[in-house]
Amino acid sequence: MFKKTDETKVMRDPIHGYIHVDKQIVWDCINAKEMQRLRRIHQLGGDFQVYHTAEHSRFSHSLGVYEIVRRMVYEIDSLRMALSEYEKVCVMLAGLLHDIGHGPFSHAFEDISVFPHEEYTVKILMGDSEIHHLLASCKATLPNDVANIIAHKHERSCLNQIISGQLDADRMDYLLRDAYFTGTSYGKFDLERCLRTIRLQDDTIVVKQSGIHSIEDYIMARYHMYWQVYLHPVARSYEAMLSILFKRLKDVYRTNPKSLDRVGMFHAFLNGQPTIEDLFVMDEAACLYGFTLLQDCEDEILRDLSYRLLNRHLFEYVEYHSEKDIERIQAKVRAMGFDPMYYVYHDSVSQLPYSPYKESEKGVNIWVVDEAGEIIELSQVSEIVAAMTRADLKQDEKIYYPNDQVARAGRKKQ
Amino acid sequence: MFKKTDETKVMRDPIHGYIHVDKQIVWDCINAKEMQRLRRIHQLGGDFQVYHTAEHSRFSHSLGVYEIVRRMVYEIDSLRMALSEYEKVCVMLAGLLHDIGHGPFSHAFEDISVFPHEEYTVKILMGDSEIHHLLASCKATLPNDVANIIAHKHERSCLNQIISGQLDADRMDYLLRDAYFTGTSYGKFDLERCLRTIRLQDDTIVVKQSGIHSIEDYIMARYHMYWQVYLHPVARSYEAMLSILFKRLKDVYRTNPKSLDRVGMFHAFLNGQPTIEDLFVMDEAACLYGFTLLQDCEDEILRDLSYRLLNRHLFEYVEYHSEKDIERIQAKVRAMGFDPMYYVYHDSVSQLPYSPYKESEKGVNIWVVDEAGEIIELSQVSEIVAAMTRADLKQDEKIYYPNDQVARAGRKKQ
Amino acid sequence: MFKKTDETKVMRDPIHGYIHVDKQIVWDCINAKEMQRLRRIHQLGGDFQVYHTAEHSRFSHSLGVYEIVRRMVYEIDSLRMALSEYEKVCVMLAGLLHDIGHGPFSHAFEDISVFPHEEYTVKILMGDSEIHHLLASCKATLPNDVANIIAHKHERSCLNQIISGQLDADRMDYLLRDAYFTGTSYGKFDLERCLRTIRLQDDTIVVKQSGIHSIEDYIMARYHMYWQVYLHPVARSYEAMLSILFKRLKDVYRTNPKSLDRVGMFHAFLNGQPTIEDLFVMDEAACLYGFTLLQDCEDEILRDLSYRLLNRHLFEYVEYHSEKDIERIQAKVRAMGFDPMYYVYHDSVSQLPYSPYKESEKGVNIWVVDEAGEIIELSQVSEIVAAMTRADLKQDEKIYYPNDQVARAGRKKQ
Amino acid sequence: MFKKTDETKVMRDPIHGYIHVDKQIVWDCINAKEMQRLRRIHQLGGDFQVYHTAEHSRFSHSLGVYEIVRRMVYEIDSLRMALSEYEKVCVMLAGLLHDIGHGPFSHAFEDISVFPHEEYTVKILMGDSEIHHLLASCKATLPNDVANIIAHKHERSCLNQIISGQLDADRMDYLLRDAYFTGTSYGKFDLERCLRTIRLQDDTIVVKQSGIHSIEDYIMARYHMYWQVYLHPVARSYEAMLSILFKRLKDVYRTNPKSLDRVGMFHAFLNGQPTIEDLFVMDEAACLYGFTLLQDCEDEILRDLSYRLLNRHLFEYVEYHSEKDIERIQAKVRAMGFDPMYYVYHDSVSQLPYSPYKESEKGVNIWVVDEAGEIIELSQVSEIVAAMTRADLKQDEKIYYPNDQVARAGRKKQ
């Protein structure tokens, strides 16, 4: 059904050695403009402010997810046999395309993006996009089936699990990739061993009990990457400033839209009616150039924050214990001449290394098959994982604020 | 003389483990806006079009060069003892700052940048920049001494050699870094062994004859990186298209400047009077957003080329043997409806793995000290290197051109 | 006090880059015959039967431990300043020499070695050995001080901690080294980060709370290496067979010593009066050649077991649940014509990822220093580690036995 | 024709990730005693005296060669299609078994081994060995076909090329493996790229011209490994001492055989009639234990040399320029009380990075196929390789001798 490429195309990749493509539709999607745009969006948002080499894009991550899915559906015997060629291509495309709805700087952008990135992804897949036309001209049902897998509601639940679950191709790629590009070792786990350990049983992705150690290792890798990289307080400072800037943009747009004439890239979002074409044009280049222009705009807060973001004058932080801490910081900030409504940011994050079984989350749990062929939820089998789920939820609350006037001073000098 | 930081600052780096900073002036320069701007410029220009993970910036490379210089001046006994603290800091800063004059997309940008990047570097160091003020307020002579080392004309020739020569900290970092981020193994050589092999003799950086193998290995690494990465024909296609776009921009600006009103980021360069502040604002975000805007401009050629660049519709290529090939391609391109003046690009590159001794290039040669203490130029000692210099100069000439109308069609669809 | 080597000696090492030696006494000890003997003893006993590349020796591990100790005492500021030059050399030598009392195949050999390896180590350090004379001629107190540190009873408790504790140089080297040489990734943790996180406070080795993640990672690395490598059931099969062979050797020696005339290498141990010179001659070469000779001895059990060990005809295993399992296997083995007294082996292992605080084990715990300067035991601070210590103790009991006659048949064919 | 294993067996390997086995005959050969014996023979002879971690065995190298052959015959389309299943298994077995005739310490042992290792290999394959019976009971022609491939005289020349040529599976594995286990980076080249570049044309293994860089890189890797590892002067010192010891053994055996009664492991070789069973028993354990016994034998030279070998008291060396140097060293050695006939050793080595085309060596050259499908010898296409073959042959001549009495003194002390 699916046309083959002339020869297997390979793309060199530090994580997987090579990315292998031999379906024309996959190749065409890689070269579609919605995919190419992901080259202009960092995988790790503000993390390059902490780990200076974390400059890799969602594009290379997407290729990596595709490659893991490809290996799963062709190299794991039980999956290869259980899935039709059509299903294989669907889930590989879902891996490739799962991030196309993302805006710049990952989550912070959602503060003005109107729709969450999942919604954009569906709009792009089902709407008037290059990707949609490629998929639909291949087979009419393809856009919808790919969208369903990405939305975790395909009727064949193993396809959903491959793309989103607690042991999915997305996480497997990003842990390895983010570890490589940050230069940390925390995210490393044994992908080969994991792949050898996974199989399909009763339409569920399961892992063999004998391979449980590599899964435990993977869960620890996640745990450490969260605290060392994804939730690093300095990266969160950058993202806090982004959120504040976007909030201020909206407020200024309401009261004085003309003053934002020069930053046209933000208009559709501020208007509240962004199309997929507006999202397409909104990448990190647009955003950063927007900040460059905002450095000279009328509004002092926007001038200050855009200068800070471009030149890495990050907010400081203190631990949050109670509302008193916030009041104290608000007073401090006010004394420095800043408006606390924007210049004090309360950020709270928490992360569970592994979420144990809940009926409602059945589809995202990790399932183990023991030697008798019984399927059991991971935390019932692994003492280490069980212990982790019993650990107190680690919560981290911080207050971000500027403790210098350097940015403002910097601007004035010019 | 130089203030120390409170404690040694470290930044995680996949190539060097950590970047270590314990001088306040180094730390301040890293955080200066001219350095932070380098985060928005790719180290490898168009190479990420071939090696999708080659997305690292000149910023992280600059930190790497600094770190190698730091290790050289502190870990190589003869250097540590021969250089004053002031000279050590000068040459470390030269390593850190050697690339601050670069525009977006490395060399292609020089087609409209008016000045070469070396000239901008001097202007920034000596002019009214944040970096200049930091250096000058530390010591009045510092900007000039750093600039002289970068320009390879400091009176102490070993300082020049550390920054630019055939075995310098710049090349050592970029070979390793570019190999890591492309995922190739070609650029790998044994940095530890090289550093252990280098010493200072008669104010010249020399290598011990017993360590010559690691130097040969380094030269082969360079050779392979040139042909496999830096001069990869597909990366050159992207850069050819950039050159053509910039050429067309200049031509349109001459005849119809008003049609370029929206792309203000290019104006200063098209005017021919760019200041360092204009360069500062010109990073790859500005450039790429400029291309986004050009997709909708009046001029068809600009619309087409900017669409191609953003969405990776690259030019094809054939080998160039004689002018006949050019004529043939011109005819073909004309038949497709393209203007051959812009749509046929003749590109010629060549590269010597090692340039043997010339009196004029004495300062950039690699020098070996034998057991008797005699200093000899590398190709006199290494048979492999000598053989390479006798190899015929490898020249690679290609003609780049569009062989499809996909870009134009793509634009129309919208 | 301690003579320096002419120049710093370096030995290439895949784990540490280089091993650096600049004290003559360290260099001399490395070249002493008791150290060189460790080249003929595998680090991982029978593990090369599972991981075929786990062929590294205790010699290279010993160099690695030395190197980590060296880095600790020179690179961690608080340690460098708190320890005298004499103490530094003592603890580096303790790291280098901590394994010199080991016999072949690590623990299995202790079944006939009469003394445990710790006792041999003290005998060698304090007795008439090359090492002893080297140390004593350097300073009279040196043999005793080094022995005390290795025995964890030096009065300066931080020195003991560096060599043996739950976060010591020994474990740090072997986790990394064993991971490298088995080709697994389980044992990898971030040594650089750990070293940056360790300091001395109140004569106790502590870790900074901000670096706790790298310690958690190290503890998980240990946990996984135990179950994946050190306690791998197939490696334990090899070791079970070694234990049985040694037991049979002792039994035969009691009843028919003359039949063991040809295997002189075992006599001193069978006699029960081994000297350090006897141990010195007893390495894996001697042991394996002994097995070669035993293949042709009178006793059928020795012939069979030595053939099995040399040619990898390992025992099978089943899980042990109760004594009934043993009886069942005994019957099975008896039916095959084997003597159950030797051919059924019950093996029980367990391992705690981290042993929480007990007053008696204070010296081996891991201690954390929080921002207020308070010292707290690790499991009080790390939720993950606390959770692990609350996990049920994982016990693994197996019964090993031959389920084929291949070895016997193999012997007969000849 | 060939029975499959129940499931694909995998063995973890640091170079290849996993070794994959799914043919029962391959699995059985791996477990045959002649293969298991290779675990007791170091891959790199005396190199572990220089690179202390170079302790890997010929067993793991043999698995690695098998794995590369397996990948070649299944992953390179043109080979997979051109070879029958029988031929595939033959050449995989040839890769696995090519080293079974090796004695301890690689080449030095050939000084008393009577037959070269190639001859033993044939004897084992064709004689009364476990391997022979396994192969023959699988298919009668198998022993002979495997032997022919190893001897480079199979009628299907591509099979010979895969096992022995200038670009064969043997070299590809050992360069990577020896680099990994020595901890050097010299031997690294891009195996994946090489494999992607190889194909079969006209029954000849060729490489695509576009992949020539990875081949050049491989040839440089070989060149550097030769000078940095295989021909390292200190490793050669160890091997020189082995050669001398074996020579002395032969001389003593002629005049006083009774004095060698205790070292029975050498008798068959000294008798000049070794069988394959004698070779089987002769591994490095036997040899090293023999040296242990020789330390106490009558002959002073054997006592001294065996002591030196076991405890790393290596000979020194000077460069050889003319016979005068030998005479000078002979006088020096004589003055120290040593017999120059044994204690002065002239060693000469040379190595060409690549041997260009000779009609007689056609079968071992590297062949390139250009875009027109023409097959050309590598040095005609690669300027770098051509330059190397024109380089003067690097010859390295050294004289080895003892310059201390430490060994003798060491012995006396006991």
In a structure prediction context, what are the per-residue pLDDT tens digits for chain D, which is 414 residues long?
799 998 899 999 999 999 999 999 999 999 999 999 999 999 998 899 999 999 999 999 999 999 999 999 999 999 999 999 999 999 999 999 999 999 999 788 988 999 999 999 999 999 999 999 999 999 999 999 999 999 999 999 999 999 999 999 999 999 999 999 999 877 788 899 999 999 999 999 999 998 898 999 899 899 889 888 999 999 999 999 999 999 999 999 999 999 999 999 999 999 999 999 999 999 999 999 999 999 999 999 999 999 999 999 999 999 999 999 999 999 999 999 999 999 999 999 987 778 877 777 777 899 999 989 999 999 999 888 888 787 766 789 999 999 887 666 555 544
User: Using 50, 70 and 90 to split pLDDT, how confident is the model at B414?
Assistant: very low
* Burial label, C81 (beta-carbon count in 10 A; 0-12, 13-18, 19+): exposed
Q: Which residues of C373-409 are buried (b: 16+ CB within 10 A; e: fewer)?
A: eeeebbbebbbbbbbbbebeebeeebbbbbeeeebbe
**First-to-final CA distance of chain A:** 62
A413 pLDDT higher than 90: no
**pLDDT score, position A362:** 74
Do the beta carbons of residue D226 and residue D184 sit within 8 Å? no
Do the beta carbons of residue B362 and residue B355 sit within 8 Å? no
Structure tokens at D213: 């860089």
* Number of neighbouring beta carbons within 10 Å of residue B323: 9
Interval B28-53: pLDDT, tens: 999 999 999 999 999 998 899 999 99
- Percent of chain B exceeding pLDDT 70 equals 97
* Burial label, A385 (beta-carbon count in 10 A; 0-12, 13-18, 19+): buried
Structure tokens at A95: 């891996």
Contacts of D283 in chain C (CB under 8 A): 288
Structure tokens at A137: 């001209």
Report d(CA B386, CA B382) in Å as an integer. Answer: 6
Q: What ipTM does this complex have?
A: 0.94
- Selected for mutation to probe chain C from B4, B7, B193, B195 (highest C CB count within 10 Å) is B193
Question: Which of these, B147, B150, B145, lies nearest to B168 by C-alpha position?
Answer: B150
Coil, strand or helix at B49 = helix
Residues 6+ apart with CB under 8 A from D219: D353, D354, D385, D388
Report d(CA B233, CA B46) in Å as an integer. Answer: 10
Q: Give the distance, in angstroms, between the CA of residue C398 and the centroid of all CA atoms in the same chain.
A: 22
Q: Which DSSP string do the residues of A96-131 spell out, in sequence order?
A: HHTTTT--TTGGGGGGTSSS-HHHHHHHHHHSSSHH
Q: Please give, rounded to a whole number of angstroms, the shortest distance from the CA of B386 to a CA of chain D.
A: 8
Phi-psi region of B152 (alpha: psi -120 to 50; beta: other; left: phi over 0): left
D11 → chain A, closest CA residue: A193
Q: Give the distance, in angstroms, between the CA of residue A154 and the centroid of all CA atoms in the same chain.
A: 21
User: Using 50, 70 and 90 to split pLDDT, how confident is the model at C1?
Assistant: confident
Phi-psi region of D295 (alpha: psi -120 to 50; beta: other; left: phi over 0): alpha
Which residue segments constitute the domains of chain A, with CATH numbers given? 4-229 (1.10.3210.10), 233-349+398-413 (1.20.1250.30)
Residues 6+ apart with CB under 8 A from A161: A168, A204, A205, A363, A364
Contacts of C17 in chain B (CB under 8 A): 192
- Angle A205-A70-D23 from CA coordinates, rounded to 5°: 85
Report d(CA A2, CA A280) in Å as an integer. Answer: 28
Report d(CA B283, CA B292) in Å as an integer. Answer: 14
Helix (H) or strand (E) holding B377: strand B375-377
Do the beta carbons of residue A10 and residue A30 sit within 8 Å? no
User: Using 50, 70 and 90 to split pLDDT, how confident is the model at C414?
Assistant: very low
B401 pLDDT higher than 70: yes
Measured CA to CA in angstroms, residue C245 lies from C112, C152, C242, C308, C401 at distances of 10, 33, 5, 10, 13
Query: Given CB atoms, is C182 within the 8 Å cutoff of chain D?
Result: yes
Query: Given CB atoms, is B10 within the 8 Å cutoff of chain C?
Result: yes
Q: Which DSSP string do the residues of B126-175 spell out, in sequence order?
A: HSSSHHHHHHHHH-TTHHHHHHHHHTT--SSHHHHHHHSSTT-HHHHHHH
- Could you tell me the pTM of the whole model? 0.93
Q: Tell me the torsion sign for CA atoms C249, C252, C253, C254.
A: positive
Contacts of B220 in chain D (CB under 8 A): 216-217, 220
Query: Given CB atoms, is A181 within the 8 Å cutoff of chain B?
Result: yes
User: Using 50, 70 and 90 to split pLDDT, how confident is the model at B407?
Assistant: low
B221 → chain D, closest CA residue: D217
Q: Given an 8 Å threshold on Cβ–Cβ distance, is D387 in contact with B388? A: yes
Q: Given the DSSP bridges, would you call strands B367-369 and B204-208 parallel, antiparallel or unpaired?
A: parallel
A412 pLDDT higher than 60: no
Structure tokens at C60: 């290279």
The shortest CB-CB distance from D13 to any of C53, C55, C413 is to C53
**pLDDT score, position B282:** 96
Contacts of D261 in chain C (CB under 8 A): none
Question: Which of these, D187, D212, D216, lies nearest to D198 by C-alpha position?
Answer: D212
**pLDDT score, position B229:** 92
**pLDDT score, position C358:** 76
The shortest CB-CB distance from A52 to any of B17, B40, B59 is to B59
* Burial label, B360 (beta-carbon count in 10 A; 0-12, 13-18, 19+): exposed
Phi-psi region of C399 (alpha: psi -120 to 50; beta: other; left: phi over 0): beta
Contacts of B391 in chain D (CB under 8 A): 383-384, 386-387
Arithmetic mean of pLDDT over chain A:
92
Arithmetic mean of pLDDT over chain B:
92
**pLDDT score, position D414:** 42
**pLDDT score, position A293:** 96
For residue C34, give the DSSP letter: H
Residues 6+ apart with CB under 8 A from A122: A101, A147, A150, A151
Query: Given CB atoms, is D370 within the 8 Å cutoff of chain B?
Result: no
Query: Given CB atoms, is C183 within the 8 Å cutoff of chain A?
Result: no
Q: Given an 8 Å threshold on Cβ–Cβ distance, is B388 in contact with D384? A: yes
Contacts of D20 in chain C (CB under 8 A): none
- Angle B387-D353-D221 from CA coordinates, rounded to 5°: 100
User: Using 50, 70 and 90 to split pLDDT, how confident is the model at A289?
Assistant: very high
Highest-scoring range by mean pLDDT, B343-352, B389-398, C291-300, D387-396: C291-300
Do the beta carbons of residue B125 and residue B146 sit within 8 Å? yes
Q: Give the distance, in angstroms, between the CA of residue D326 and the centroid of all CA atoms in the same chain.
A: 30
Q: Given an 8 Å threshold on Cβ–Cβ distance, is C55 in contact with D53? A: no
* Number of neighbouring beta carbons within 10 Å of residue D334: 13
Helix (H) or strand (E) holding D317: strand D316-319
Do the beta carbons of residue C410 and residue C312 sit within 8 Å? no
Q: Which residues of D147-172 are buried (b: 16+ CB within 10 A; e: fewer)?
A: bbbbbbebebbbbbbbbbbbbbbbbb
**pLDDT score, position D187:** 79
A197-220 average pLDDT score: 92
Angle between the N-to-C axes of helices B300-311 and B233-255, in degrees from 0 to 180, rounded to the nearest 10: 150
Interval B61-103: pLDDT, tens: 999 999 999 999 999 999 999 999 999 999 999 999 999 999 9
Contacts of B17 in chain C (CB under 8 A): 192
**pLDDT score, position C411:** 53
Chain A stretch 297-336, residues whose beta carbon is closer than 8 A to a beta carbon of chain C: none
Q: Given an 8 Å threshold on Cβ–Cβ distance, is B410 in contact with A39? A: no
Q: Given an 8 Å threshold on Cβ–Cβ distance, is C312 in contact with D56? A: no
Q: Given the DSSP bridges, would you call strands A198-201 and A204-208 parallel, antiparallel or unpaired?
A: antiparallel
The shortest CB-CB distance from A63 to any of B52, B56, B182 is to B52
Q: Which residues pair with A204 in a beta bridge?
A: A201
- Angle C42-C46-C48 from CA coordinates, rounded to 5°: 75
Do the beta carbons of residue A311 and residue B36 sit within 8 Å? yes
Share of chain C residues as helix, strand and coil, in percent rounded to the nearest 5: 60, 15, 30
**pLDDT score, position C393:** 67
Alpha helices (H) in A104-232, listed in sequence order: 117-126, 130-138, 142-150, 157-163, 169-182, 191-197, 212-225
Q: Chain B to chain D, count of Cβ pairs less than 8 Å apart? A: 56
Measured CA to CA in angstroms, residue A43 lies from A105, A318, B17 at distances of 8, 27, 22
Arithmetic mean of pLDDT over chain C:
92
Show which subunits contact D, needing at least 3 CB pairs below 8 angstroms: A, B, C
C7 → chain B, closest CA residue: B77
Q: Please give, rounded to a whole number of angstroms, the shortest distance from the CA of C33 to a CA of chain B.
A: 29
- Percent of chain A exceeding pLDDT 90 equals 80
The shortest CB-CB distance from A192 to any of D18, D192, D196 is to D18
Structure tokens at D23: 């043919």
How many CA atoms within 13 Å lie on the side-chain side of D263? 32
Q: Between residues D383 and B301, which one has the greater pLDDT?
A: B301
Structure tokens at C200: 């001395």
B197-202 average pLDDT score: 95
Lowest mean pLDDT among A244-258, B232-246, D98-112: D98-112
User: Using 50, 70 and 90 to split pLDDT, how confident is the model at A393?
Assistant: low
What values do phi and psi take at B261, rounded to 5?
A: -55, -40
**First-to-final CA distance of chain C:** 62
Coil, strand or helix at C400 = strand
Q: Please give, rounded to a whole number of angstroms, the shortest distance from the CA of B245 to a CA of chain D.
A: 30
Q: Given an 8 Å threshold on Cβ–Cβ distance, is A190 in contact with C190? A: no
Q: Given an 8 Å threshold on Cβ–Cβ distance, is C17 in contact with B196? A: no
Contacts of B173 in chain A (CB under 8 A): none
Q: Given an 8 Å threshold on Cβ–Cβ distance, is D310 in contact with C281? A: no
Coil, strand or helix at C221 = helix
Contacts of A220 in chain C (CB under 8 A): 216-217, 220
Coil, strand or helix at D291 = helix
* Burial label, D392 (beta-carbon count in 10 A; 0-12, 13-18, 19+): exposed
Do the beta carbons of residue D168 and residue D161 sit within 8 Å? yes
User: Using 50, 70 and 90 to split pLDDT, how confident is the model at A342?
Assistant: very high
Measured CA to CA in angstroms, residue A125 lies from A130, A143, A145, A151, A173 at distances of 9, 6, 10, 12, 22
Structure tokens at B353: 């793995």
Measured CA to CA in angstroms, residue A274 lies from A108, A251, A271, B293, D76 at distances of 17, 18, 7, 18, 50
Strands (E), C94-253: 198-201, 204-208
C396-404 average pLDDT score: 93
